[in-house]
Chain A
Amino acid sequence: MPGPRRRLLGLVAALLVLLALLVLSVMIGSTAIRPSVVWDALFHPSADIDQFAIRDYRLPRTVVGLVVGVALGLSGALIQALTRNPLADPGILGVHAGASFAVTVAVGVLGVRDIRGYMWFAFAGALIVTLMALALGSTRHGRSPVAMVLAGVCVGAVLGGAREALQLTNPDAFDAMRSWNAGSIVGRPLDLVWPILPFLVVALVLALAVSGPLNAMALGDELAAAQGVRLAHTRVLAIIALTLLAGGATAIAGPISFVGLMVPHVARWIAGPHQRWIFAYSVLLAPILLLASDILGRFVMHPREIPVGVVTAFVGAPVLIALVRRKKASGL
């Protein structure tokens, strides 16, 4: 296991890479804009067309990428620690499907077209599905991670089908939902991030609070209980944090798969099995992955753009396959 010094250095390096990507994400696009113009746009605003592009398009996109990335990465780390399943992903609990379904109901049935309106539906949908998976997965002997995950998969599949039924019977809803369902960080105004942000901060604090007990739970429920960990308490807090993070991210960006799966593994390779370090690394590595995928998506099919969710899926599936082909998936 790497020493604390190396872990800290790695964390600093990750932070520097993230900062560099933030700058690149603002600068690079269909037209390259000089760094001086970027600087002016941020600190000496004027009516210049390039400044407009930066303030109204690239800056929100970058901020959304950062926030969504942090949320996805941390939610992935949480769910893997919670289920002790190295192949778990926030999508597995049906959170994405729940949010998608709620948004489709809002857009298609209730006619909520404003993104500020339907984002709350996504949030509520994600929350309800997680609670449902939790309730359905609970057994008499306390909540079991396996049953919970299976419950999430089922709920997700059923809600996915119901969403499809709604979309097919309502062409307008179908058209409006197409881009949201692909998972993208484009065209999401910053106003959309602010209401979600407090929830994400709360979730961040909760995640850090449960990281210690989750360490003990990695040894097994009985051992953790013997060490004085309140199992139910820890699980509930972790699941609240998980829902807020994954639900918030989905509300803003739509379903983006594989970020929550990949990042905690990379974090474990670098930082070893300590949950607090894994969480810290996930918080930095996930936005790195997301922003890099987004920048990549701007170039591959230039001048058209590929939504970041498609890029992460194409990067993520090989990682998943490599994981399962290794003799032993990195232990939890």
Chain B
Amino acid sequence: MSTVNFGRRVLVLRRGRIAVRLDWRPVVVCAVLALAVVGLAVLALMTGSYQLGPGQVVSALTGGETGLVHDIVVEWRLPRVVAALVFGAALGVSGAVFQSMLRNPLADPGVIGFSQGSYTGALLVILVVNGAYWQLVGGALAGGMATALTVYVLAYRRGVQGFRLIVVGIGVSATLGSLNTWLILEAEREQAMAAAAWGAGSLNGVSWNQVVIGGICIVVLLLSTAVLSRSMRQMELGDDTAASQGVRVSPARLGLVVVGVALTATVTAASGPIAFISLVAPQIARRLARTAGITLVPAALVGALLCLAADYIAQHIAPTPLPVGIITVILGGGYLGRLLFTEARRRL
């Protein structure tokens, strides 16, 4: 069997009747990203008011330490690091799904208003019910899903078109944003501060309990995304082309919307909205791997790396500990700006 030469080096894995073709560059990029993630994770586990060496961290992780070092690494620092990794990966994939589906690098669950919706739900729980943590999570999930549904229905007109979905989302997002501002305005000062801190997106006080529950949801959602990713790839060619290739476009798109929203909402419910990772990660991944379209695995790795790095900066480098969402906005916004200027310059 002769292989088609696409003009780039290809890695072919064969096992019996199954063969997998992979481009070399994305594979190498993913490996390097994974190494960077592991390195940064070890660094994050080392750093804190009680400094540890890399050896201590590794032996604590492998069960070689007991007492204080074990508690610090496994009970205190590890949940936060794992949360940053899992949530970052989820955001990266969610952004990749939306950008691929809407064929627009600006399409982002945050821009389209789902984070604002989650925030509204959580605010109502904090301010009106004064609810417990699980109620807050429920409120955020319900708010995000309800917003997504509203945006989808409002943008529906003989099918959903990417551009319309984005603009409707921006409108709904702005409305919810002003509603949120007003809710904070009406609240008592302490409640308002708490709500605003949650709204900025923070990994403070993430415990194993939350990480495990959120992590299981996210793993299930990521697997569903992997199943849907073949249709997603076809749909990038346009709805008609995809349909002619045998993709059932409407159900596939609905599935992708549900998965993408659920990924964002799960993260938002656990940590508050962490902005810009879902917007930036797929784009960085695309540039690093030099792929033609949006790819899921590099996007997830870049998302994890970004989220962990932003949380490290927020905790250890910023003058006062800040919510991670603030750092991602500033870093991601800066990167996005650069990206847009170069894109705009090339196209215009």
Contact = CB atoms under 8 A, between A and B. Distances in A.
B122 to A, nearest CB: 16
Nearest to B199: A164
Given A169-B322, A178-B185, A179-B185, A317 B174 contact: yes
Contact of B348 (A147, A154, A309): A147
B154 to A, nearest CB: 5
A171 B193 contact: yes
Given A150-B341, A158-B329, A314-B178, 12 more contacts: A136-B341, A146-B348, A154-B340, A157-B336, A161-B330, A167-B196, A168-B322, A168-B326, A169-B320, A307-B185, A310-B178, A316-B174
B185 A158 contact: no
Nearest to B314: A165
Interface string B301-344: 00000000000000000001011011001100110110011001
A174 B193 contact: yes
Given A139-B348, A146-B344, A181-B181, A158 B333 contact: yes
8 contacts: A147-B344, A157-B276, A161-B329, A168-B323, A169-B322, A309-B178, A321-B154, A325-B155
A320 interface: yes
A144 B323 contact: no
A175 interface: yes
A186 B322 CA distance: 32
B345 interface: yes
Interface stretch (B18-26, B141-149, B163-171, B261-269): B163-171
Interface string A224-265: 000000000000000000000000000000000110000000
Interface string A163-191: 01101110100110011011100000000
A258 B157 contact: no
A50 B177 CA distance: 36
Interface in A302-319: 304, 306-307, 309-310, 313-314, 316-318
Contacts, number: 134
Nearest to B343: A150
A273 interface: no
B344 A139 contact: yes
A160 B182 CA distance: 17
Contacts of A87: 167
A82 interface: no
- Interface SS of B by simple majority: helix
A284 interface: no
A251 B300 CA distance: 42
Contacts of A167: 196
B46 interface: no
B175 A314 contact: yes
B182 A306 contact: yes
B323 A310 contact: no
A182 B181 contact: yes
Given A146-B348, A182-B185, A309-B178, A158 B154 contact: no
Nearest to A139: B345
Contact of A158 (B168, B200, B334, B341): B334
Contacts of B155: 324-325
Contact of A162 (B181, B275, B323, B330): B330
B43 to A, nearest CB: 23
Contacts of A165: 200, 322, 326, 330
A155 interface: yes
A103 interface: no
B348 A144 contact: yes
A34 interface: no
A141 interface: yes
Contacts of B164: 324-325
B275 A258 contact: no
A147 B345 contact: yes
Contacts of B275: 157, 161
